[in-house]
Amino acid sequence: MQAHASRLGLCGLRNIGNTCFMNSVIQCLSHTQELTRFLRSHHGSRSSATKDQQILHEFAKLIQEMWTSNVHTVTPMELKRAFSTKHRMYSDYNQQDAQEFLRFFLDSLHSALNSGVKGETLNIDDNLSDNKKADLTWEWYTRHENSLVRDLFVGQLKSTLKCTTCGNTSVTFDPFWDLSVPLPSSSRCKLEACLDLFIREEVLDGDEMPTCAKCKTRRKCTKSFTIQRFPKYLVIHLKRFSETRWSKLSNIVEFPTSDSELNMGSYGANSNSNVHYSLYAISNHMGSTAGGHYVALCKHPVSRKWHEFNDNIVSEALSENHLVSSSAYILFYERT
């Protein structure tokens, strides 16, 4: 049984015209254990379904096929078609950004499964503690946005705004589906350096000055982030591309690859010193901004071995020292 189980899911995806961005993300999601466990037993119907439910339906069918014994390659044509019906920019066969696709894709899966109820506005007493505000905001958010996908991928960011004149601080809490982290200027750095840049205090001045609630006028403020609530699956996007996508950074970011090696505790809003994550998938982008090619590196849930998924070609086991490279673009971590 073990030998057979350790081969399941080692299934390539045919490229149907510049769709390596999609194939790479699907492989990473396919190796997200709790999502795949759910999808393998999900049976929805296509009839009278919303566009999002059709995407979910096709994705579940695809995952079920990918995790069937002796299936080595599948063609994600129906999923691409369903997705393009909802998101027109994907209806041609141009190369797209994998992280942008991931956000749209998870949003569609969430919407298809969302049993949340829209309704009441959020009113929170300003005198409550930050943690109480965070909990109430989260409860309000989860009443509106309630799905397995949200359960798995969404965390909560705490944003603190401090007036440099009167010292008044205001906090807001927002859900996040991934962390997009900037890269420092050095050609080689650790992932911690990117996370430090993400949460570090920035000064809002000039045009960016917010209005201080206490001074009742626009003031120079500082803004900083911490993580209030850590997700089960943490997606970290390394911002290699400029906003205009004209240039790409090829820095090597050394990220933790071993079990429980990533400790996010120091980025938490509350000093709970240990929040450990294990890497299980990477979406790699090779080449330039104009073209380039995406592949996925994923850790098999049974054999615990790493494989490269390059469209329809699946490599034999890779060693862990192949994981860190200048191509790493999206990192998928599971909380341990």
Buried b / exposed e over 103-125, threshold 16 CB at 10 Å, is bbbbbbbbbbbbebeeeeeeeee
- Average pLDDT estimate for 67-92: 93
Domain that residue 138 falls in: 1-117+129-335
If one compares 47 and 199, the residue with the highest pLDDT of the two is 199
Q: Give the whole-angstrom CA distance, residue 177 versus residue 294.
A: 21
- What residues does 263 pair with on adjacent strands? 276
- Average pLDDT estimate for 312-334: 96
pLDDT at 269 over 90: yes
- C-alpha 159, offset from chain centre: 19
Give a yes or no: residue 161 inside a domain: yes
**55 — pLDDT class (breaks 50, 70, 90):** very high
Q: Give the whole-angstrom CA distance, residue 271 versus residue 160.
A: 16
| Residues contacting 314, CB < 8 A, separation 6+ | 10, 11, 12, 72, 307, 308
pLDDT at 1 over 50: no
Q: Give the whole-angstrom CA distance, residue 188 versus residue 163.
A: 35
Give a yes or no: residue 45 inside a domain: yes
Q: Give the whole-angstrom CA distance, residue 61 versus residue 176.
A: 28
pLDDT at 135 over 70: yes
Quick one: which of 182, 282, 267, 279 has its CA closest to 230? Answer: 267
Over pLDDT 70: what percentage of the chain?
Answer: 97
- Average pLDDT estimate for 148-176: 96
Give a yes or no: residue 207 inside a domain: yes
Residue with tokens 């009441």: 120
**315 — pLDDT class (breaks 50, 70, 90):** very high
Tell me, what's the pLDDT at 6?
A: 80
Q: Give the whole-angstrom CA distance, residue 174 versus residue 316.
A: 41
Give a yes or no: residue 123 inside a domain: no
**128 — pLDDT class (breaks 50, 70, 90):** very high
- What residues does 280 pair with on adjacent strands? none
- Average pLDDT estimate for 260-282: 92
Residue type at position 234: L
Quick one: which of 170, 311, 193, 176 has its CA closest to 252? Answer: 193
pTM tops 0.85? yes
Residue with tokens 């599971």: 334
Whether the Cβ atoms of residue 249 and residue 189 lie closer than 8 Å to each other = no
**3 — pLDDT class (breaks 50, 70, 90):** low
Give a yes or no: residue 124 inside a domain: no
Both tokens of residue 117?
Answer: 């109820």
Q: Give the whole-angstrom CA distance, residue 36 versus residue 33.
A: 5
Give a yes or no: residue 66 inside a domain: yes
Q: What is the tens place of the pLDDT at every residue in 228-262?
A: 999 999 999 999 998 776 789 999 999 999 999 99
CATH of the domain at 22: 3.90.70.10
Tell me, what's the pLDDT at 48?
A: 64
Tell me, what's the pLDDT at 225?
A: 95
Tell me, what's the pLDDT at 156?
A: 98
- C-alpha 5, offset from chain centre: 27
Q: Give the whole-angstrom CA distance, residue 147 versus residue 63.
A: 19
Least confident of 3-7, 92-96, 168-172: 3-7
pLDDT at 204 over 50: yes
Give a yes or no: residue 215 inside a domain: yes
Residues with a catalytic annotation lie at 20, 293
Q: What is the tens place of the pLDDT at every residue in 56-74?
A: 999 999 999 999 999 999 9
pLDDT at 316 over 70: yes
What is the SS3 assignment for 274? coil
Tell me, what's the pLDDT at 94?
A: 85
Q: Give the whole-angstrom CA distance, residue 194 versus residue 56.
A: 33
Cα(first)–Cα(last) distance of the chain, in Å? 26
If one counts the domains in the chain, the total is 1
